[in-house]
Amino acid sequence: MQLAIVIMAAGKGTRLKSRRPKVLHQIGGRALAEHVIAAAAQVVEPKDIYVVIGHEAEAVRAALRHTGVRFVVQAEQRGTGHAIQTAKPEVEGYENLIVLSGDAPMIRTETILRLRDFHLEQQAAMTVLTTRPADPTGYGRVVRKAAGKPEVIAIVEQKALKPEQLSAPEINSGIYAFRAEPLFKHIGELSTDNAHGEYYLTDMAALLVKAKERVVALETADVHEVLGANTIAEMMELDAEMRMRKAQALMAEGVTIFRPETSVIDSTVTVGADTIVEPFVQLLGRTKIGSGCRIRSYSVIEDSTIGDDVLVRNGSVIGSSLIAKNALIGPYSHLRPESEIGEGAHVGNFVETKKSRLGAGAKANHLSYIGDAEVGAGTNIGAGTITCNYDGKGKHRTTIGANVFVGSDSTLVAPLAIADGSYIAAGSTITEDVPADALALGRARQTTKPDWAKKMRSRK
Ligand code: UD1
Ligand code: CA
């Protein structure tokens, strides 16, 4: 059987009041359209997926190109029926089509397969997926020939509902299967004689029935799956639902998540068993967390890899970084991109790192900036130490060997190399390389004047 999937994604999403095209808005850390494509790509090859784009077409194409789908441009968006008319030259050669909405991101592969199988079993020209949400207002309603029977007479849009139909509970999901031949034979009969002056794909139901074709409905119990994201509020509801499903999947794998409704975990994240995630944590992008870790509240971790048994204390911000096992981060650490924290190393409160490597067991526990630096194993970076990596023009590197003791409040002016086992006296400004096992002092000698303060006071 030759099957194509068409995803309608050309609309502007006026109800979002946003400059960004609707299908590029994100829930669960991915664009709406990417979720739909991911589900569709489990059913057919990407080359048999056609995404109808129009509003901000080039931005949408660029954002979705990586999926390998094909694009159809609907330059003027004259309705869902017109979207499918526009795709006709590309898809009329297939036997059957499944039509999905770029703005119904929760659709699951299983449901697409159920729709396909039901459509084929029923030998229908059109099969519409339906559900019964708590509040059907705003959706098109599916009118069946008789309750409990699969045959459909028509789909009636909200604005065309007769008073007695207003509470009709069964809605059109906007997801359909069609046999291509009758669809394209009759699609030219759609008219714009309706509240929006658009070509409605929903009108195909009545048109096909009139042409003596079989139109049926398949109901799904999973309401979220077919809900469209038409407003930011609706989108955030779906986001919460999607993230709760992710949290539940992780918990089923042995991860403890306190107050899972407060966590923001992207679907792409992995977490090992016996890791504990405290309330109000965000785990984003390609983050991978090992087992036996504890991620304390208010930490935000993005595109980072964290080994086993790592403790990330409260309020840490970690991006595109690598943390080896048994390390201790935070509270309030800022690990910027390309930070590599070695096994058992400590990065403490108000320490910022960037493009830097801390060796195994190294410690930078308080109030430091470590940028463009290499810190050897076992080295201690005293409180308030700063690598001066920027001279106003270029960035320079600081290399610190193993088992070095950098005294508190040191200023290390790069480019600079401090060799193994050396000592930097507290409060130093170091501008020259320090050889192994040396002591470097770079500060004024202290002067103490006995009784000076007492005399000063008595003069007043
Ligand atoms: C549509 C259905 C409605 C159903 C609801 C389910 C119609 C007329 N109505 O309404 O019965 O209950 O979905 O969510 O189809 N699009 C295009 N080109 C266009 C217009 C729209 O590609 O010219 C795309 C949109 O980007 C969107 C999808 O089609 O992804 C649905 O369009 P939308 O305007 O959201 O339709 P609804 O009003 O939600
Ligand atoms: Ca919609």
Calculate ∠ Cα 282-64-20, nearest 5°.
70
- Summarize pLDDT for 41-53 with one digit per residue, the tens: 999 999 999 999 9
Task: Check if 119 is active-site.
Answer: no
Residue 196, judged by CB atoms within 10 A of its CB (0-12, 13-18, 19+), counts as exposed
Output the residue whose Cα is nearest ligand 1's atom 5.
Answer: 174
Is residue 460 very low, low, confident or very high in pLDDT (cuts 50, 70, 90)?
confident
- Summarize pLDDT for 417-436 with one digit per residue, the tens: 999 999 999 999 999 999 99
Q: Can you give the pLDDT at residue 396?
A: 97
Q: Which of 35, 55, 366, 396 is catalytic?
A: 366
Q: How far apart are CA 72 and CA 210, in angstroms?
A: 29
Return the best residue to mutate from 61, 101, 187 for the ligand 1 pocket (most ligand atoms within 8 A of CB).
101
151 CA from centroid of ligand 2 (Å): 24
- Summarize pLDDT for 195-240 with one digit per residue, the tens: 999 999 999 999 999 999 999 999 999 898 888 788 999 999 999 9
* E-only strand ranges, 355-421: 356-358, 363-366, 369-371, 373-375, 380-381, 386-388, 398-400, 405-406, 411-413, 416-418
**Is the pLDDT reported for residue 437 higher than 70?**
yes
**Is the pLDDT reported for residue 407 higher than 90?**
yes
The CA–CA distances, whole Å, from 152 to 208, 222, 284 equal 10, 21, 44
The CA–CA distances, whole Å, from 346 to 141, 350, 366 equal 60, 12, 10
Strand partners, 429: 411
Q: Which two tokens stand for residue 28?
A: 């669960």
Q: Which two tokens stand for residue 223?
A: 């309401």
Is residue 286 very low, low, confident or very high in pLDDT (cuts 50, 70, 90)?
very high
Calculate ∠ Cα 199-208-7, nearest 5°.
50
The CA–CA distances, whole Å, from 344 to 113, 224, 268, 370 equal 49, 44, 27, 18
Q: Which residue has the higher pLDDT, 385 or 20?
A: 385
**Is the pLDDT reported for residue 157 higher than 90?**
yes
Q: Phi and psi (nearest 5°) for 52?
A: -85, 115
Q: How far apart are CA 93 and CA 181, in angstroms?
A: 9
**Is the pLDDT reported for residue 1 higher than 90?**
no
Q: How far apart are CA 324 and CA 341, in angstroms?
A: 6
Kindly list the structural domains of the chain, giving each domain's residue range(s) and its CATH number in brackets, ordered by start. 3-226 (3.90.550.10), 232-440 (2.160.10.10)
